[in-house]
Structure 1
Amino acid sequence: MSSPSPRSRPFHQVDVFSREPYRGNPLAVVVDAEGLSAEQMQQFANWTNLSETTFLLPPTDPRADYRVRIFTGSEEFPFAGHPTLGSAHTWLESGGVPKSAGFVVQECGAGLVRVKHDAGRLAFAAPPLTRFGTVEDTLRRQLAAGLRLPEAGILDASWLVNGPEWIGVLLESAEQVLAVQPDFAAMGALKVGIVGAHKPGADADFEVRTFLPGDAITEDPVTGSFNAGVAQWLMSSNRAPAEYVAAQGTVLGRTGRLHIKAEDADIWVGGHSTTCILGSVLL
């Protein structure tokens, strides 16, 4: 039996987490993905050669406004940060009207995620960590080798899993974060993010980098899921204030800025989104 003929579907490419277009993290969004199989979605996501591609679908949960499936070039994620903000931005730009005043509710593999407007930006409520805790010594040694650092240079390390299986590594300073030249072979298949504090007076409070060995993109420009986990980790250990700004993508020539805020029981991760490409795709 032959596959159905491709049809034209609305397509957006969105720059997320930067006030300046083309200086954040790009996201491909297929607005009407009904009828596509997981295999077709994965093939298209691999073809775009971006860190993530999302596909918008009608929700299956009556509380949600839309459903999203999130694919990297090689796998599907239950949740990811910049795809959440970019998808919400695109859904709203395409005429979506939220069911609830003040919030867009996204349905994804990790459940329901709330997105709200905050100071001219969209922000998502960080989902709970499904794995959180200190990494074992053997893994810590692998992290040190992968980052080309002495073990003593790692102040702390923790699992920060909220979809992607991130490991967070705390370094002494933002300068140390920027100086890291990773050994991806030593890192193996680990998804690793590093964070260090800037000196007072800088335009950001923390510098962040994230590494994805084995992917087509080995260093992600700006990573919402990792920053959501880092915020929960650093705030719970009194290493970060209840509101701060993280910079990411500096070594890649990007100007990513993530606005983090603890509010009641939630931690919100926000940033600017800009549509850079608007058209259609045959799928």
Structure 2
Amino acid sequence: MRRFPFVTVDVFTASRFGGNQLAVFPDARGLSDAEMQSLAAEMNYSETTFVLPPDDPANTARVRIFHRTAEMPFAGHPNVGTGYVLAAQAANGANALRFEEIAGLVEVRIARDADGHPTGAEIDAPQPLEILETLPSAAIAACLGLSPAHVVTTTHGPVRASVGVDFVLVEIVEDAIARAAPDLTAYRRLAGTDLTAAERLSILLYSRNGNRIHARMFAPLSGTWEDPATGSANATLGALLLSFTDEDSAAFVVSQGAEMGRPSILHVTARRTAEGIRASVGGGCVPVLTGEAQL
């Protein structure tokens, strides 16, 4: 029987049982693709990561990220949490890690307390902002169980964008955020159109007050009814919001997950570079469980 230890952590929180749950397999050598996918489905978290030796020895690891039904090219809280776990297990106290992923190279910076213990991490998204398409407000509002009048289009309408993995980003009036709920029939209806968003209809809805953002994220077609803290989506949002200004950089504090009973805080920064607008996201991590899969 083969044995594969794993660790679970809560990400984007300083309190156990808050934030977004993540399972990390720190040594996934010997696991097949099908076994990784089955383990991610069994864990039933929004994502599970599997750490492998890097293809390039100059990097720290190759990290594969699976949600309940498929592999992800990149994701936010899995990288933050995996960086935290590897830093906690390492003896050398490295503060900078580099992860090879499908979407590209992910830079990770470890946060530590005064005694040198890891407390969380910040990551750089692997790709500059790419705006992919706009979507109809009425159809997106229906997916959220809201009316088109709840959609704010002053800055932008519903838009699909990516910094490594794509999300639909839509601004909503603040008093409608708590009332939103995924309408699976509307999701399936929109996914049945010829919109290119049909493959990944993950919707981040948000309201904004200056640099403070209140967000929720629904992706029921891929098995996540609601996500308590979505680093990649909020990094994309930070980059998108900067794109509508003349500023060189921007910083945002995002609250997410309170409606699920898992309050989360994400720190997002975006900056203009020669390659385009790049984004980073970071936050705290708390260890929860250790265990072993036997296959």
Q: What TM-score range do you get, normalising by the shorter chain?
A: 0.7 to 0.9
Who is 2:217 aligned against?
A: 210
- The total of aligned residue pairs comes to 269
1:221 to 228, 238, 245: 228
Residue 51 of structure 1 contacts residue 217 of structure 1 at CA under 8 Å; is this kept in 2? yes
**3-state SS, counterpart of residue 29 of structure 1:** strand
Do structure 1's residue 180 and structure 2's residue 180 form an aligned pair?
A: yes
8 Å CA contact retained: 1:77, 1:163: no
Matched, 1:247 2:255: yes
> Would you say the 8 A contact 1:65–1:105 is kept in 2?
yes
- Give 1:255 shift: 1.3
The correspondence for 1:149, drawn from 125, 146, 149, is 146
2:106 to 101, 108, 113: 113
Cross-structure match for 2:202: 191
**Secondary structure of the structure 2 residue equivalent to 1:145:** helix
1:34-74 deviation line (CA, Å, top 9, x unaligned):
11110110111111111111100000023310111100110
**TM-score, normalised on structure 2?**
0.83
Query: What aligned pairs does 1:41-52 form with structure 2 within 5 A after superposition?
Result: 41-52=36-47
Structure 1 residue runs without a partner (length 5+) = 1-5
Paired with 2:123 and 2:271, the residues of 1 have a C-alpha distance of 12
- Specify which structure has the higher proportion of strand: 2
Shift of 1:152: 3.9
Cα 1:89–1:62 change in 2 (3 A) is same
Tell me how far 1:130 sits from its aligned partner: 6.8
- Between the aligned partners of 1:164 and 1:273, the Cα distance in structure 2 is 22
2:267 aligned with 1:275:
no
**C-alpha offsets along residues 90-127 of structure 1, whole Å, 9 cap, x if unaligned?**
111221648xx742111111111101135854100123
For each residue in 1:188-212, what CA deviation from the matched residue of structure 2 results, as whole angstroms up to 9, or x when unmatched?
Answer: 24211101114x7xxx811111101
Distance 1:239 1:150 in 2: 32
SS at match of 2:178: helix
Shift of residue 135, structure 1, vs aligned partner = 1.0
Q: Does the 8 Å contact 2:36/2:66 carry over to 1?
A: yes
SS at match of 1:68: strand
Whole-angstrom CA distance in 2 between matches of 1:26 and 1:149: 28
C-alpha RMSD of matched pairs (Å)? 2.4
TM-score, normalised with respect to structure 1: 0.86
The sequence identity of aligned pairs, in percent, is 34
Q: Give the 3-state SS of the residue equivalent to 2:220 in structure 1.
A: coil
Structure 2: runs of 5 or more not aligned: 113-118, 192-200
For residues 159-208 of structure 1, what are the alpha-carbon distances to aligned partners after superposition, in whole Å with 9 as ceiling and x for unaligned? 123444311111233x322221331220224211101114x7xxx81111
Q: Is the 8 A contact 1:20 1:255 kept in 2?
A: no
Could you say if the C-alpha distance between residues 76 and 276 of structure 1 is closer, same or farther in structure 2, counting changes exceeding 3 Å? same
Distance in structure 2 (CA, Å) of the matches to 1:55 and 1:217: 19
1: distance between equivalents of 2:234 and 2:65? 18
Question: For residues 239 and 281 of structure 1, what CA distance do their matches in structure 2 show?
Answer: 51
Quick one: distance in 1 between partners of 2:79 and 2:92?
A: 16
Find the counterpart in structure 2 of residue 3 from structure 1: none
Please give the per-residue CA displacement for 1:72-98, whole angstroms capped at 9, x wherever unaligned.
110000101010111111111221648
1:229-268 correspondence to structure 2 within 5 Å = 229-238=236-245, 242-262=250-270, 265=273, 266-268=278-280
In the superposition, relative to structure 1, how do residues 163 and 267 fare at CA in structure 2: closer, same or farther (>3 Å)? closer
C-alpha contact (below 8 Å) 2:187/2:221 kept by paired residues: no
